[in-house]
Chains A and B, each alone.
Chain A
């Protein structure tokens, strides 16, 4: 298509979009809903991913040592554990720290505090909090701890208990729930996106159906198919552009509200997410809006051009 025709096509498409008034507004509104659902999909994914990663972060293996355990022995165990490739971090909590944490936790319980005052020595031992790179690797870390090659028999004797299996069941279940919710949320969002695309497509088709007489007149005055189709596609693109701007602006107060009132519940500040991902989300909306608008217009006009 020559520059002259391109210019005319853009001009005719823009004029038609702005002159169609209510029809264009309704098409934009339907497209806004579609883009809102598409962007919502990203927000749902971000929330679920954060929830899952928070949950994973809460999982650890704690190795409790007997109170009389030698600090050097504990340090050598810490060094040995850190060598394991699955281990992300190891945090050492001394017996004194353990006592002060315990006291702080039970600061309202005088009876317990009095018991500590009566005791001459600290009954709590030191501990090591081990975090794995992946929750699935805790099993192998436990096996690693048990293996003779890593810890000598002397070392094992200072270990009082390993606290993992107690939380394991709950953590596994939570993992499964979040995993299932993530998959179901994604599927539901995909279905919603599909439905809203179909609705947008049908709206565009109805709008072009109203212009079917104009298309036949354009053909009768000798206009080529490309020249007739062009302005309709431009109008479709404008519907997508306006809808993407409205949709991204609507997400501002929506994410602000979610960020300020639902952060504790969702485990993610969606307003911060919106701000950090603004450019990416805006581009996704523009591309989706323009593509849906252009493709649905193209297909709808195609039907009347071939009559």
Chain B
């Protein structure tokens, strides 16, 4: 029977924690056969959970069939269906979970609930070849410095309030910018920052290993409203301060854990300035810097499918009656027996 060949076994992963609905299909060796992403975009920026969930429900069927077509895999060849069980926005998660349950029970295959943050780390490792990195995961919803230790991914530092991506987004919106397809707020701030010359004083807030961005955001918005500074200079200063904070905490975690790789993932990871800062730290610590390619750094279905495979191989499946979504599922709660110590 061909089924026992891992290249002939497939996992379908559904990601729907926030504004993206995405489906990925991988074979059990880790080859990505499809990774289809459909993003919800609102006129004004930001995510309204219910509107995003409606979008997901509308596109779910289409995205799933597109993924099957792209992967050239028949639905009945799927071995397991994985889905992002949390953390994330309730309505979005529930929509993704519903699609996953329906698909799994229709195909009569096991369901695997996956932690969204763990999935980011696992696909990052798969895509870059990193073995045991300190990971900086920065997006619109998350700001986490993590590394693996004794069976689990541990949080070494995180934001105490808003995520750094959220901080940049809200700043851009308050500055009157409008995002468009292919040009998210983060990229706009980055472009403006390149024209920045003068560093404006903004609060730098690292508390132990944790960071706070809300004070920085408030101060930056206040300066926009005052109208005394060029927007380019404000973007430049905001980036420099926020990214210095992220890099400081990452460096501390690297020194503390004595690991030799830095993995950068999440939407904010696309920022070149942040990459440069981390690269500098990596060089100083004789470590390798790995930046996750965009299609796997943003929220994507492939990461859910891949982590689903890793969990499934350990016999970790999620019975339907335990497949309720977990909005505040903490990273440290997840056992990751597939990671070698």
Task: State whether these chains interact.
Answer: no
Chain A residues close to B by CB (< 8 Å): none
Chain B residues close to A by CB (< 8 Å): none
